[in-house]
Amino acid sequence: MTSYTVLNPATEQPVSTVPGTSSEETDAAIARAEVAQRAWRSVAPGDRASLLRAFAAQVDAHAEELARLEVENSGHPVGAARWEAGQVRDVLQYYAAAPERLIGKQIPVAGGLNVTFAEPLGVVGLIVPWNFPMPILSWGMAPALAAGNTVVAKPAEMTPLTAMRIGELALEAGLPEHVFQVLPGKGSVVGQRLVHHPAVRKIVFTGSTEVGQQIMAGCAKQVKRLTLELGGKSANIVFADADIERAAATAPYAVFDNAGQDCCARSRILVQRSALEKFMGLLEPAVKSIRVGDPTLADTEMGPLISASHRANVAKYVPDGAPVAFRGSAPAGPGYWFPPTVLAPIGSGAPAYTDEIFGPVVTVTPFEDEADAIEIANDTPYGLSGSIWTSNIGRAIRVARAVETGNLSVNSHSSVRYWTPFGGFKQSGLGRELGPDALDAFTETKNVFISTQE
């Protein structure tokens, strides 16, 4: 086993040395998961529920430790990291109710009885990105385990520490060995093995659209079940009849949360032309007042980017001479810092307008009317998220129905809740996570006819 060093993105200092799992070690873990699944699926529903509740309680008891680990490993502000650890607990609690509710149907048929069962799939492979290591792990892990599957998770190479600790907490909570395993390492090694190993019956992948396309092709060879949560370039649409003060005050949080490294980032602000001047006048102080800096401090709102190479990619979208309307601040010195940046005006062909930047850069584009706003919002291969600001309820509903995207908020800047469905339209993904129907993605329906003939 080779090992590698994980860096703190706020200081560029080493945090820990982590084993990089090999292909052979991945195969061995999958084999262990396959054996463990036979017993796990047979655990009585109430007992499986109790174990998941114990797991949630264990996460809760170590929430501060997990949050501090995420601050060091990912550079997330500690307030955000605490919320993320709490999300793991809440998602486990929510799906702990599921084992006792995996209810089939009885269907009327002649000459007997027809019943359906929701059967677990077997071993589920989770491939997790670096931007939200804890929440995204939990979105796949909790419903997969609740449904009676075992899970092999591969965190992103750069951010494995919280997932590894959550793996230990599962054992401490009493989950049987090998029911939930975490394998740090490379996507090209561990991730590929999960995709190609025939005993892995489902992949849940969250990451870039480009890698998602490769994974989809790999899964096709075995008709392997697949959930894809991919990229985004979401619109924040502000109509002139909206509460412009609130729309401008919250717009920075809709895009610069997690330093813009957020698949749901509303990174294209579309403003009705008649309100543009007022909106920009209010947006400037809101952007300049974002507290960017030391992520260990409770009042910090934005931390660094994840790595030097990612910062270099983000910086390409703000070359010398770019139309920077205004910027916030960022610390000097060590750390992968990048200031919140607003680009305006931006033409529809510009890379900053079309590409997912995944950093704290937002474009502002004016529109004329409702039809124009919908056309601009849909002018992207992505469709993950978005917001609509208006005081006209009819318009809010019309535009929400017309924008081709999976998760929208009206007069609010956020739309992700673990008890409501989440996922993308178009190239932002396939399938839905979270909410009450997520169990459908981790079970197959079995249909059984039982004759009552003598």
Q: How many residues does the chain have?
A: 454
Catalytic residues: 229, 263
* 131 binds ligand TAP per the rule CB under 6 A: yes
Determine which residue in the list 96, 215, 290, 318 makes contact with ligand TAP, applying CB under 6 A: 215
Calculate the CA dihedral of residues 407, 75, 63, 151 and round it to 10 degrees: 60
Q: Does 336 bind ligand TAP (CB under 6 A)?
A: no
Kind and range of the H or E element at 2?
Answer: strand 2-7
Minimum Å gap between C-beta 192 and ligand TAP is 5
CB of 454 to ligand TAP, least distance (A): 55
- Asked if 173 contacts 55 with a C-beta cutoff of 8 angstroms, the reply is yes
Q: For ligand TAP, how many residues bind (rule: CB under 6 A)?
A: 32
Tell me: does residue 359 bind ligand TAP (CB under 6 A): no
Q: 204: closest CA among 152, 261, 158? A: 152
DSSP 422: B
Backbone φ and ψ for 234, nearest 5 degrees, come out as -85, 155
Binding mask 145-184 for ligand TAP (x = CB under 6 A): ---------x-xx---------------------------
Give the contacts of 357 (CB within 8 A, at least 6 positions apart): 260, 267, 314, 317
For position 279 contacting ligand TAP by CB under 6 A, the verdict is no
In angstroms, what is the minimal distance from the CB of 194 to ligand TAP? Answer: 7
Cβ atoms of 204 and 140 closer than 8 Å? yes
d(CA 56, CA 50): 10
Which residue stretch of 24-32, 116-124, 165-173, 186-194 sits at the interface with ligand TAP (rule: CB under 6 A)?
186-194
Q: Can residue 268 be called a binding residue for ligand TAP (CB under 6 A)?
A: no
386: contact with ligand TAP by CB under 6 A: no
Q: 3-state class of 386 per DSSP?
A: strand
383 binds ligand TAP (CB under 6 A): no
Nearest distance from C-beta of residue 309 to ligand TAP, angstroms: 11
CB 53, min distance to ligand TAP, A = 25
Phi/psi of residue 116, nearest 5 degrees: -120, 150
Is residue 142 close enough to count as binding ligand TAP by CB under 6 A?
no
Among 55, 130, 239, 389, binds ligand TAP (CB under 6 A): 130
Q: Is residue 360 close enough to count as binding ligand TAP by CB under 6 A?
A: no
User: For ligand TAP, which residue of 49, 56, 173, 211 counts as binding (CB under 6 A)?
Assistant: 211
Task: List residues bridging with 343 in a β-sheet.
Answer: 324, 363
Cβ proximity of 364 and 310 under 8 Å: no
Q: What angle do CA 59, 61, 66 make, to 5 degrees?
A: 55
Q: Is-contact 255 266, C-beta < 8 A? A: yes
Nearer to ligand TAP, 58 or 380 (CB): 380
List Cβ neighbours of 187 (8 Å cut-off, separation of 6 or more). Answer: 127, 154, 156, 157, 211
Which residues in 225-254 contact ligand TAP (CB under 6 A)?
Answer: 229-232
> Is 128 an interacting residue with respect to ligand TAP (CB under 6 A)?
yes
Residues that bind ligand TAP (CB under 6 A): 127-132, 136, 154, 156-157, 186-188, 191-192, 195, 206-208, 211, 214-215, 229-232, 263, 356, 358, 384, 424, 429
